[in-house]
Amino acid sequence: MGILRLSHVDITVTDLDLAAAYYTEVMGMLEVERDETSVYLKCWDEVDHHSLRISYAPRVGFGLMSFKVLREDDLSDLENAVGRYGLPVERVSKGASIGQGESIRFETPSGQIMELVHDVDKIGRATGSLNPAPFVEGLRGIAPPRMDHILVTAEEVGEATKFYTDVLGFRVTEQLLDGDGHQAATWMERSHSPHDLAIVGGPNGGLHHFAFWLDDWDHVRRSADILAYNGIQVDVGPTRHGITRGNTIYFFDPLGTRNEVFTGGYRPDPDFPTITWTEDNIGRAVFYYEGELNDRFMKVHT
Amino acid sequence: MAILRLSHVEIKVPDLELAVAYYTEVLGMIETAREPERVYLKCWDEHQHHSVVLTYSSSYGLAHMGWKVENREDLDHYTARLEDAGVAVKRLDGADVGVGGGSVARFETPSGHQMELIHGMEQVGNLLPLTNPPPKPLGLVGIAPPRIDHVFLTVEDVNRMTSFLQEVLDFHLTEQVMGDDGFQIATWLEVSHSSHDIALVTGPDGGLHHFAFWVDDWNDIRTASDVLAYHGVRIEINPTRHGATRGHCVYFFDPAGNRNEIFTGGYWADPDEPPITWTESEMGRALFYYDGVVNQRFLTVHS
């Protein structure tokens, strides 16, 4: 019951064709649908209609993050919970959004637009479901099997986190505390993973990055090859996180939105005890091999 | 509110010391408690008290399997559902449960397997601190998988046991091998966003085909095979890939004859995803994608 996982991310781009070329040829997503202003993309192993929507706008930005709920009833339960917290909730009726049915939308205390949806059109995995091969031949680019998580920025990380945990049922797996003992960043899950959603200090409403899942460290290496071959600006990596233990590369799409490819981590139960990182260990917490942060990673977001 | 995942398996072994030596030194599990006739083990990244219990017995095979539920109320919820389905349930708490404690609901499945739902087993922590932890401990011995992954049972009537798991316990069917006669030959089911937490194949009721440990990737499957060969453990199926679940795997036997697997890969399944179907003519590839032929020993040997 409740939120199942990240469903899709909406971003705005200033050049739709360039962005679509990057997300299909370098990232290796599949274009599912296109209208005048938007392109809908999914990863090869995803069943649902899309996990990324890119839309033309005069500036690069973050549209919304959409999370899938397990049952139809969860939408009204969570609508009530968000309403009781005091936030206005909008019902988006079936047919208003391509590829999905009814949803609810609200602005979180940290300024992001969040959507919850249950009914998403099923396109199916690219492998099919009758005697399927374990992979798909002829995919281009990195070709991650699926979207994994999103990291957003908030002025008040503690307050933002409290909303996600108390109202939406997220569970904090890890937290980075500043010298005063306040949360400087938090990692939260709903899906037996180290994180589905994370928050780091920064302006309200910001998107730090969204991440795609890879099979393993060898897939991380191949991704680095593909990024370098295509002249993509790598931000950090390949390296490892202390937090989540994941292996990772950060890089930017051609319009400046940060992407990550990610693998590894662990499998927490809902009663998992929260791991704490102290400020004096912030370098290893974020980049375990480097042991220090870079300024660009901390400051650049969309 | 649900069954979360496989919690533990209790395995019968006729030579307890030999089995403990194998599970700690070759598999690389950690001994957490010992009684005269039982030894409790966990993997390094597991927080709970145990995921494997070795029990002295004149025979081998599965004594019982435990499944972790999210809330204590889940025990009441499933007890009622089981009783409605005509299954007798025994409830135990604390010391009556045994080492590691918690609250359990025990019953026998229609396939003759002893199953329990458990909440509140003692948490002993993984081998890392909760403040500024490194990503893994150094100095682990053997294969040292981070955790147990799934269990694979033999059952006479796959259709019946699959329906029981789906309808009474809310498992989600991810894959099935359908016989030409329209009956399920084998099924894979999950409760945890994974390709499978339990699987069934046609065979005697009450049988254990294997239980599996998770490793991070294909490279770890190779390392595990090196460790097995070094220790003279008989590898039954070399590193390969499954069609069903897509996982990479290696199969071998513990000294008592219980089959073990080291597994990685697979996919993420939502609870509402329709199942993948394998036809009988493609059963070879469903089981072992590279070999593509049905391996009779693999299908008939169990414990």
Kindly state whether residues A180 and A294 are assigned to the same domain.
Answer: yes
Whole-number Å distance between alpha carbons of B287 and B243:
6
Residue A128 lies in a domain: no
Write out the residue range of the structural domain in which residue A55 sits. 3-117
Note down pLDDT in tens along chain B; length 303 residues.
Answer: 799 999 999 999 999 999 999 999 999 999 999 999 999 999 999 999 999 999 999 999 999 999 999 999 999 999 999 999 999 999 999 889 999 999 999 999 999 999 999 999 999 999 999 999 999 999 999 999 999 999 999 999 999 999 999 999 999 999 999 999 999 999 999 999 999 999 999 999 999 999 999 999 999 999 999 999 999 999 999 999 999 999 999 999 999 999 999 999 999 999 999 999 999 999 999 999 998 888 888 988 898
CA distance A252 to A296: 12
Any bridge partners for residue A252, and if so which?
Answer: A258
One domain for residues B170 and B98: no
**Per-residue pLDDT averaged across A232-256, rounded?**
95
> How many domains in chain B?
2
Assigned domain for B130 exists: no
Q: Rounded distance, CA B12 to CA B25, Å?
A: 19
A110 and A156 share one domain: no
Residues A152 and A233 in one domain: yes
The sheet with strand B103-108 has its strands ordered as B30-35, B38-42, B52-56, B3-13, B61-69, B114-119, B103-108, B90-93
Q: Which residue among A117, A133, A163 closes a domain? A: A117
B141 inside domain? no
In this structure, the answer to whether residues A163 and A222 fall within a common structural domain is yes
DSSP single-letter state for residue B256:
T
Question: Contact B270/A242, CB-based, under 8 Å?
Answer: no
Catalytic residues of A: 149, 195, 209, 241, 250, 260
Query: Does A273 fall in a domain?
Result: yes
Q: How far apart are CA A91 and CA A97, in angstroms?
A: 12
Cα A189 → chain centroid: 12
**Do A111 and A207 belong together in one domain?**
no
Is residue A118 within 8 A of residue A3, CB to CB? The reply is: no
One domain for residues A154 and A293? yes
Q: Which of A126, A104, A129 is nearest to A42 (CA)?
A: A126
A24 in any annotated domain: yes
- B100 and B174 within one domain: no
Nearest CA in chain B to A277: B132
State the DSSP code for B123: B
Asked whether A57 and A14 are in contact (CB, 8 A), the reply is yes
Chain A contact probe: residue of B216, B277, B279 with most A CBs at under 10 A? B216
For residue A83, what is the enclosing H or E element?
helix A72-85
Beta strands in A70-132 (DSSP E): 90-92, 103-107, 113-117
Domain housing B193: 147-300
Same domain, B100 and B156: no
Per-residue pLDDT tens over the stretch A137-167: 999 999 999 999 999 999 999 999 999 999 9
Q: What is the CATH number of the domain that holds B105?
A: 3.10.180.10
Judge whether A288 lies within some domain. yes
pTM, 2 dp: 0.93
Number of domains in chain A: 2
In a domain, A136, yes or no: no
Is A205 found in the same domain as A250?
yes
Per-residue pLDDT reduced to its tens digit, A181-210: 999 999 999 999 999 999 999 999 999 999
- Please check whether residue B84 lies inside any domain of the structure: yes
A116/A4 Cα distance (integer angstroms): 10
Q: Tell me whether residue A292 is in a domain.
A: yes
pLDDT per position as a tens digit, A47-90: 999 999 999 999 999 999 999 999 999 999 999 999 999 999 99
Q: In terms of domains, do A105 and A175 share one?
A: no
Minimum-distance CB partner of B274 among A129, A278, A288: A129
Considering CB atoms only, which of A70, A216, A278 is closest to B216? A216
